[in-house]
């Protein structure tokens, strides 16, 4: 018995000593490969075991292993994992983790209401840009320009700062949904987007995701072409900040400073960003300047609750340009801007304050977010938001012979906007999840004309378009300073003229999504329903008698349903298909005959617009190459088109045309490739081939700027005409290469073809005699390039100084960006590259550049 016990004890001691001998120590520091800053809380696990630890505040770790040799896996949310071998006691030094395509790191706040593609397992047609790419590509451009190297996206730069537009699968911005942290930001009145109001959004963007077609949004939004999700900074996990200075062509300069405390031990976090920019503009007389501010205050009292308050805004003013006849631009150059419209003595225009018109606006947006973890399987996310927009388009008024400027007339577009989006998510079972939520929006629009600034007079006799009452205007409001307009709004109806009305648009929507998924198959069903009311108040007599007149309240309901399924053939191959139908309520601007002068309902509006979408796709994933292939077919029926025209060429629209019923069909294919042939080299490409046409014929109704009827009931024969303003064929190749550590060069080439002019439904080109469709514009291509270098500085190289140079349209391509007219070339007409020189067109920018220097700490 004693021998048995002795043997047992000896064996245990031997085994124990073997374990002790086998144990080794692995140490290292986990850092961000781009910022060269430590990553606290990174996971370090011995592969094949549950043995693991987390890095400390400085990114350091010491792991005692269970084996004498093997692998450890280092991972961090939002970064690609790294596997490193060890043998005995090992010091791994600095271990760099690189941000991957996952967006989970930044979705700390409001994740339940931000409908990103990663939130659903069933795929969609999607492209995503993360913060580092946005910083590299942006320079002094608007968001549309940054997204132009994604399939079926075309950017139109516009004449002045913030006037860019984005077209997605041939649909303009009014029919593409734009979301800021889950909050819809298209205008509730007409769906339009004004990038000048959001000039600072890219400074604080953590990611931008373009969802083409049906998308993953659960809200009942106007995503006919697709959805663009902008995700901004909220709570940073790490302390730090940056100081950046940028200069660019045409005297552009921009200074930005940012600081974040990171998530502190007491659960609080604070981030702020401030910026100022100014420049002359590429087009003549399109100078501008503005500021950017962003403040975020977060609080995480425990693991189940996270709160965040954010306020951001971009007060700015900029002079505008327009479309000009092609012969004028050819004679004067592509920077041409007929700046002093209706002014015979431009030297009297007070240093050119109001060239062709000046946009002055400030749109602060605030939101309060709350993420509640109810249980291991359930969570609730809510965002309460508010916006108070104040601003005007100011233009010069003249009198006398010769004509001289007398005052600056402001066409004011103010609003008060409040909303709530809330989403409850629960995992019903291992394979089944459910989302339900609500979307509430309350909008008050305030529109009138007033005097922004007296130039050569001290008072003006104003009149009301509705009743010809005359009153004397003696007060000014705001001038050209957006801060002044914000805090000095014109609430005095007696100091308004021309038109004076308000509108109230209230919206209530509910939505839900059910998704099933297992290892190989996933399927989802989404549905939403909404009701909205419209009330318009016309202050017809208010200047004299204090009277106003309300329209009848217009109520309408809408809904959408979407469904889809995906099948994983294996780890590398996925196929999917989605289908959806929208019954979309008409915009407020569709409902009234002339929303500036009348409460009369538009007789052409017969009901909701109907959108049907079909799409299918294939995804291939591997370490070296990945590919997305999509096909789509979208039908948009019973839509209303609203267009305006400057018939006397004075720079102001004076004729307005509505068309109905309008039907268009968009179909096409898209291919997107991502490759990494070797370490440090990435080559990506895409090609989009579309066929977008009008179907059937339409009826048009035209009024002048007083609301008087010009023509009614005319028929335009547009069946088969191509849809214009965006190229139906686009292709591109982009590459970036890290020549040596921290030095990177990149370039992208984009090709545009099958580009057509905008259909002028009120013109004679679609008459029974002509019926020649839309004009075709010349194809063109552009090449952009950039170089960046990061210099590590400070203690332990934890800070960095980054330099970036971008040159856009490096070969100075001369091209027509889009056309507003539809004049074909007849016998005796003069043409440039096949385009009648009488067409009103806008040229794209020539060669431009920007240089930035950024210190990260």
Q: Tens digits of per-residue pLDDT, 20-50?
A: 445 688 999 888 776 566 777 788 888 878 7
**For residue 600, what are the CA distances in angstroms to 64, 183, 383, 683?**
78, 32, 36, 56
Residue 168's closest CA among 688, 693, 819? 688
Judge whether 375 and 393 are in contact, CB under 8 Å. no
Q: Are 480 and 317 in contact (CB under 8 A)?
A: yes
Asked whether 190 and 173 are in contact (CB, 8 A), the reply is no
pLDDT of residue 647: 64
- Specify the pLDDT at position 385: 95
pLDDT of residue 198: 85
Task: Indicate the pairing of strand 305-313 with strand 165-168.
Answer: unpaired
DSSP letter at 464 equals B
Report the percent of the chain where pLDDT is more than 70.
Answer: 85
* Collapsed DSSP state (helix, strand, coil) of residue 455: coil
Q: How confident is the model at residue 350 (pLDDT cuts 50, 70, 90)?
A: very low
- The rounded distance, in Å, linking the Cα atoms of 466 and 597 is 6
Q: How confident is the model at residue 90 (pLDDT cuts 50, 70, 90)?
A: confident
Q: Which two tokens stand for residue 347?
A: 């030297």
Residues 232, 237, 243, 247, CA torsion sign = negative
Q: What phi, psi does 445 have (nearest 5°)?
A: -100, 140
Q: Is the pLDDT of residue 408 over 70?
A: yes
Question: d(Cα 494, Cα 482) in Å, to the nearest integer?
Answer: 22
Query: What pLDDT is stored for residue 510 in this prediction?
Result: 94
Residues 6+ apart with CB under 8 A from 286: 159, 160, 161, 280, 318, 319, 320, 321, 337, 355
CA distance 784 to 838: 31
Question: What pLDDT band is residue 831 in, cutting at 50, 70 and 90?
Answer: very high
Q: Render pLDDT for 516-563 as a digit per residue (tens, 0 to 9).
A: 999 899 999 999 999 999 999 988 654 445 567 788 889 999 999 999
How many whole angstroms separate alpha carbon 155 and alpha carbon 169? 12
Distance from C-alpha of 694 to C-alpha of 774, rounded to nearest angstrom: 10
* pLDDT value at residue 7: 47
List, in order, residues 6 or more apart from 527 with CB less than 8 Å away: 511, 512, 513, 559, 560, 561, 562
pLDDT score at 103: 47
Strands 554-568 and 521-538 turn out to be antiparallel
Q: Residue 562 carries which DSSP code?
A: E
pTM of the model: 0.83
Tell me: pLDDT of 666 over 70: yes
Give residue 465's pLDDT.
Answer: 56
Question: pLDDT-based confidence at 147, cuts 50/70/90?
Answer: confident
- Kindly tell me the burial class for residue 372, based on how many C-beta atoms sit within 10 Å of its own C-beta (0-12, 13-18, 19 or more): middle
Question: Are 330 and 319 a contacting pair, CB within 8 Å?
Answer: no
Q: Which helix (H) or strand (E) holds 467?
A: none
Is residue 231 within 8 A of residue 181, CB to CB? The reply is yes
Percent of the chain with pLDDT over 90: 40
Q: At residue 682, does pLDDT exceed 80?
A: yes
pLDDT tens, residue by residue, 763-788? 566 655 566 788 999 999 999 999 99
Contact status, residue 187 vs residue 205, Cβ threshold 8 Å: no
Please check the confidence at residue 146 and state whether its pLDDT lies above 90: no
Query: Are 36 and 241 in contact, with CB atoms under 8 Å apart?
Result: no
* 649 pLDDT more than 80: no
The pLDDT of residue 15 is above 50: no
Using alpha carbons, select from 785, 796, 798 the residue that is nearest to residue 855. Answer: 798
Strand, coil or helix: 695:
strand
User: Tokens in use for 332?
Assistant: 């004067």
Query: DSSP 3-state assignment of 518?
Result: coil
Q: How confident is the model at residue 67 (pLDDT cuts 50, 70, 90)?
A: confident
Output the pLDDT for position 21: 44
Q: What are the residues facing 522 on neighbouring strands?
A: 517, 566
Per residue in 259-269, pLDDT tens? 999 888 898 99
Paired tokens of 449: 């004309």
Give me the mean pLDDT over the 247-251 stretch.
96
Angle CA(827)–CA(829)–CA(830) in degrees, nearest 5? 135
Burial 421-447 (b: 16+ CB within 10 A, else e): bbbbbeeeeeeebebebebbbbbbbbb
Give backbone dihedrals phi and psi of 117, rounded to 5 degrees, phi first: -60, -30
pLDDT for residue 807:
96
Distance CA 851, CA 802 (A): 11
58 against 303, higher pLDDT? 303
In angstroms, the CA 319 to CA 316 distance is 10
Bridge-based pairing of strands 176-180 and 183-184 is antiparallel
Q: In this model, does residue 304 exceed pLDDT 70? A: yes
Identify the structural domains of the chain with CATH numbers, from first to last.
2-97 (2.60.40.10), 117-232 (2.170.130.10), 240-856 (2.40.170.20)
CB of 476 closer than 8 Å to CB of 453 = yes
- The answer to whether residues 826 and 221 touch, using CB atoms and an 8 Å cutoff, is no
Cα→Cα distances 659→498, 590, 701, 712, 729, Å: 26, 10, 6, 10, 27
pLDDT of the residue at 734:
94
> CA dist 527 to 363, 518, 581, 633, 765, Å?
32, 22, 10, 20, 42
CA 602-603-605 angle, 5° bins = 75
Taking 60 as the threshold, does the pLDDT of residue 349 lie above it? Answer: no
- 3-state per-residue secondary structure call for 803-822: EEEEEECCCCCCCEEEECCC
User: For the chain, how long is the longest CA-to-CA vector?
Assistant: 126
DSSP codes joined into one string, 363-387? --EEEEEEEEE-SSSEEEEEEEEEE
Residue 640 scores a pLDDT above 90: no
For residue 17, the model assigns a pLDDT of: 42
Helix (H) / strand (E) element for 486: namely: helix 482-487
Q: What is the pLDDT of residue 10?
A: 47
Tokens of 345: 């003595």
- In sign, the C-alpha dihedral spanning 854, 314, 182, 238 is positive
φ, ψ dihedrals at 795, nearest 5°: -65, 130
pLDDT, tens digit (0-9, with 9 covering 90-100), for 186-199: 999 988 888 888 87
Q: What's the rounded mean pLDDT across residues 119-126?
A: 78
Q: What is the mean pLDDT of residues 242-246?
A: 95
Write the pLDDT tens digit of every residue in 447-503. Answer: 999 998 888 888 988 766 555 566 788 888 777 789 988 888 888 888 888 888 999
* Distance (Å, whole) CA 403 – CA 345: 7
* 357: region left, alpha or beta (phi > 0 left; psi from -120 to 50 alpha): left
Question: Which of 242-251, 361-370, 426-435, 594-603 comes out lowest in average pLDDT?
Answer: 594-603
**What pLDDT sits at residue 398?**
79
pLDDT at 551: 82
Q: Show Cβ contacts of residue 531 under 8 Å, excluding neighbours closer than 6 positions.
A: 507, 508, 509, 555, 556, 557, 558
Higher pLDDT, residue 126 or 533:
533
H-state helical runs in 700-758? none
Any idea how long the chain is? Answer: 857
Tokens of 801: 């100084």
**Cβ neighbours around 561 below 10 Å, total:** 14
Return the residue matching tokens 């050819």.
330
Mean residue pLDDT of the chain comes to 84
pLDDT of residue 747 exceeding 50, the answer is yes
CA atoms in the 13 A half-sphere facing the CB of 64: 5
Instruction: Using the predicted structure, report yes or no on whether residue 117 has a pLDDT greater than 80.
Output: no
> Does residue 255 have a pLDDT over 90?
yes
pLDDT band with cut points at 50, 70 and 90 for residue 285: confident
Report the half-sphere exposure of 5 (CA within 13 A, side-chain side).
2
pLDDT at position 619 is 92
């Amino acid at each position: 018995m004693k021998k048995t016990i002795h043997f047992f004890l000896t064996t245990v001691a031997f085994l124990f000593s073997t374990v002790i001998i086998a144990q080794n120590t692995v140490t290292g520091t986990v850092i961000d490969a781009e910022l060269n800053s430590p990553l606290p809380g990174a996971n370090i696990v011995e592969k094949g075991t549950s043995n693991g630890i987390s890095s400390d505040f400085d990114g350091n770790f010491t792991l005692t292993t269970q084996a004498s040799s093997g692998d450890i896996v280092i991972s961090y949310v939002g970064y690609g994992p790294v596997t490193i071998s060890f043998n005995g006691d090992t010091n791994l030094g600095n271990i760099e983790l690189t941000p991957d395509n996952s967006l989970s790191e930044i979705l700390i706040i409001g994740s339940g209401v931000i409908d990103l593609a990663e939130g659903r397992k069933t795929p969609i047609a999607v492209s995503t840009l993360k913060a580092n790419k946005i910083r590299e590509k942006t320079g002094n451009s608007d968001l549309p320009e940054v997204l132009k190297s994604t399939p079926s996206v075309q950017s139109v730069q516009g004449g002045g700062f913030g006037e860019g537009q984005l077209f997605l699968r041939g649909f303009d911005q009014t029919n593409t949904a734009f979301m800021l942290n889950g909050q819809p930001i298209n205008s509730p009145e007409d769906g339009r987007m004004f990038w000048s109001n959001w000039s600072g959004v890219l400074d604080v963007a953590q990611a931008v995701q373009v969802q083409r077609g049906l998308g993953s949004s659960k809200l009942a939004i106007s995503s006919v072409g697709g959805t663009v999700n902008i995700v901004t900074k909220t709570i940073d996990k790490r302390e730090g900040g940056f100081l950046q200075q940028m200069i660019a062509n045409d005297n552009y300069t921009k200074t930005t400073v940012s600081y974040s405390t990171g998530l502190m031990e007491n659960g609080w976090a604070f981030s702020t960003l401030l910026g100022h920019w100014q420049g002359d503009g590429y087009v003549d007389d399109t100078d501008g300047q503005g500021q950017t501010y962003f403040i975020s205050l977060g609080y995480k009292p425990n693991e189940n609750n996270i709160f965040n308050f954010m306020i951001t805004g971009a007060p700015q003013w900029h002079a505008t340009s327009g479309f000009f006849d092609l012969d004028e631009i050819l004679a004067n150059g592509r920077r041409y801007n007929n700046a002093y419209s209706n002014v015979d003595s431009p030297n009297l225009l007070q240093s050119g304050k109001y060239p062709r018109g000046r946009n002055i606006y400030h749109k602060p947006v605030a939101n309060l977010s709350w993420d509640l973890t109810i249980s291991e399987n359930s969570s609730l996310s809510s965002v309460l938001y508010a916006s108070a927009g104040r601003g005007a388009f100011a233009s010069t008024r003249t009198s006398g012979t010769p004509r001289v400027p007398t005052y600056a007339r402001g066409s004011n577009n103010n609003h008060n906007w409040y909303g709530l989006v809330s989403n409850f998510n629960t995992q019903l079972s291992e394979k089944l999840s459910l989302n339900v939520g609500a979307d509430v929006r309350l909008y008050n629009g305030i529109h009138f004309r007033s005097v922004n600034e007296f130039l050569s007079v001290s008072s003006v006799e104003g009149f009301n378009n509705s009743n010809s009452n005359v009153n004397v205007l003696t007060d000014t409001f705001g001038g050209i300073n957006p801060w002044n307009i914000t805090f000095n709004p014109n609430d005095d109806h007696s100091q308004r003229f021309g038109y004076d009305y308000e509108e109230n648009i209230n919206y209530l929507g509910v939505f839900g999504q059910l998704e099933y998924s297992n290892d190989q198959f996933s399927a989802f069903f989404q549905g939403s329903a909404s009701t909205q009311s419209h009330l318009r108040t016309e202050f017809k007599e208010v200047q004299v008698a204090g009277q106003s007149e309300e329209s009848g309240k217009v109520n309408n309901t809408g809904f959408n349903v979407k469904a889809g399924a995906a099948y994983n053939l294996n780890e590398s191959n996925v196929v999917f298909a989605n289908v959806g139908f929208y019954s979309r309520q008409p915009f407020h601007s569709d409902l009234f005959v002339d929303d500036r002068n009348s409460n009369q309902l538009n007789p052409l509006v017969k009901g909701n617009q109907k959108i049907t979408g079909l799409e299918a796709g294939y995804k291939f994933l591997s370490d070296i190459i990945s590919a997305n292939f999509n096909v789509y077919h979208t039908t948009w029926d019973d839509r209303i088109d609203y267009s305006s025209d400057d018939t006397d060429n004075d720079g102001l629209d004076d004729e307005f045309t509505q068309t109905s019923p309008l039907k268009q069909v968009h179909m096409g294919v898209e291919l997107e490739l991502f490759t990494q042939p070797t370490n440090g080299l990435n080559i990506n490409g895409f090609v989009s081939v579309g066929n977008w046409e009008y179907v059937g014929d339409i009826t048009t109704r035209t009024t002048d700027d007083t609301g008087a009827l010009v023509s009614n009931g005319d028929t335009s024969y547009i069946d088969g005409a191509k849809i214009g303003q965006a190229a139906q064929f686009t292709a591109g190749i982009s590459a970036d290469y890290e020549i040596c550590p921290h030095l990177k060069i990149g370039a992208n080439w984009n090709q545009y073809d099958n580009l057509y002019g905008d259909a002028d439904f009120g013109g004679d080109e679609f008459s029974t005699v002509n019926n020649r469709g839309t004009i075709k514009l010349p194809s063109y291509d552009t090449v952009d390039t950039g170089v960046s270098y990061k210099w590590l500085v400070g203690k332990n190289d934890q800070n960095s100084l980054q330099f970036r140079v971008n040159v856009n349209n490096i070969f100075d391509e001369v091209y027509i960006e889009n056309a507003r007219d539809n004049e074909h070339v007849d016998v005796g007409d003069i043409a440039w590259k096949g385009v009648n020189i009488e067409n009103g067109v806008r040229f794209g920018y020539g060669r431009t550049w920007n240089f930035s220097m950024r210190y990260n700490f």
